[in-house]
Amino acid sequence: MGLVVVGSIALDYIETPFDKLGDALGGSTTFISLAASYFTPNVQIVGIVGDDLSEEHVKMLEDHNIDLEGLEIVKGGKTFRYGCRYQFDLNVRDSLYTELNIFEKFNPVLSERQKKSSFAVLGNIDPDLQLCVLDQLENPRFVVADTMNFWMERKLNELHEVLKRVNLLVINDSEARQLSNEHNLFKAANKIRGMGPEYLIIKKGEHGALLFGDEIIFSAPAYPLEDIFDPTGAGDAFAGGLTSYLHDTMDLSFENLKRAVVYGSTMASFCVEKFSTKGIEGLNKLQIHDRFLEFRELSKFTDHE
């Protein structure tokens, strides 16, 4: 039992055409665990930060029943800091700066309890770190991994090792094309599943998401958002909602994976509606389920009687 999340925790500077915000709590672990907190109590995180993380941030995570036992706070250390600016249509993000700081020394060591986790999410970090976590998990039932172009260009061999050992890879369409060297997403998916993961999800932003299994595909719609305030963390909120829903239901059938994709999409849609983590703070189950039902209405059709 248990869901463990390993990734980055950062203090972000985010600038969009609408607003800007500094010292915003970010990083993949933050978004994954917050989204997961609505389906799984005591999500366990493994991460490292400096003592510049505010008490408010720590309290916010605790308020969501996230288990911070595995959060190492280094006295005198500085948290990973990342700054970015989104262009006018929010589709392009320009990095302003990346200061790894204490994160450069991140060496994820899982507690005895964490090693026994049945579900794990490996956020978008160095494949070597992802492998280090996989080595420590004793008998995981379902492991979800994220990655990005950066690692495909620098650590492709290590990434391939990760792919052989995870159940589900979650990437976006441009990453899928790069990893497979195929433009057609359906061909790309076949190739990537051939690299190891039983399941693949390709996130397509405003066009929804595709889930690929063995000779079976599910196409999830995108939520019709007229205004996106901040895309930061949407992919992580997706992975967190998805994995924690699976953990909560303990059902790994393709039918349930479909629902998990829609719950992931639901959390991502809440995430982008507000700045930083604000969109996925303090939600309730009813709000989440209502939006899940909206997704169903959006894509449901019947055969003519």
Residues making contact with its own copies (CB under 8 A): 89, 183-187, 190, 204, 206-208, 217-222, 224-228, 249, 255-256, 258-259, 262, 292-293, 296, 298-304
Alpha carbon 18 to chain centroid, angstroms: 24
Q: Phi/psi class of residue 163: alpha, beta or left (left: φ > 0; alpha: ψ in -120 to 50)? A: alpha
| 227 within 8 A of 21, measured Cβ to Cβ | no
* HSE-up of residue 257 (Cα within 13 Å, Cβ side): 23
Q: Which is nearer to its own copies, 156 or 217 (CB)?
A: 217
Q: Which is nearer to its own copies, 104 or 215 (CB)?
A: 215
Q: Which is nearer to its own copies, 214 or 303 (CB)?
A: 303
Amino acid identity for residue 60 in this structure = M
Question: Residue 243 Cβ, how far from its own copies at the closest point, in Å?
Answer: 16
Question: Residue 90 Cβ, how far from its own copies at the closest point, in Å?
Answer: 9
Q: Which is nearer to its own copies, 107 or 302 (CB)?
A: 302
Instruction: Provide the token pair at 131.
Output: 């492998």
d(CA 112, CA 131): 18
Q: Which is nearer to its own copies, 75 or 300 (CB)?
A: 300
Question: Residue 187 Cβ, how far from its own copies at the closest point, in Å?
Answer: 5
Question: Residue 61 Cβ, how far from its own copies at the closest point, in Å?
Answer: 27
Q: Which is nearer to its own copies, 174 or 219 (CB)?
A: 219
Amino acid identity for residue 110 in this structure = L
42-70 burial, b at 16+ Cβ within 10 Å, e below that, comes to: ebbbbbbbbebbeeebbebbeebebbeeb
Question: Residue 207 Cβ, how far from its own copies at the closest point, in Å?
Answer: 4
Question: Residue 205 Cβ, how far from its own copies at the closest point, in Å?
Answer: 10
Question: Residue 258 Cβ, how far from its own copies at the closest point, in Å?
Answer: 4
Tokens 């390709």, located at residue: 202
Task: List, as one string, the DSSP characters of 78-101.
Answer: --EEEEEEE-TTSS-EEEEEEE-G
Question: Residue 288 Cβ, how far from its own copies at the closest point, in Å?
Answer: 12
Q: Which is nearer to its own copies, 158 or 173 (CB)?
A: 173
Q: Which is nearer to its own copies, 102 or 210 (CB)?
A: 210
Instruction: Provide the token pair at 190.
Output: 């076949």
Distances (CA, A) of 284 to 5, 17, 228, 233, 288: 22, 29, 21, 19, 7
Measured on CA atoms in the order 42, 47, 51, 52, is the torsion positive or negative? negative
Indicate the pairing of strand 80-86 with strand 93-99: antiparallel
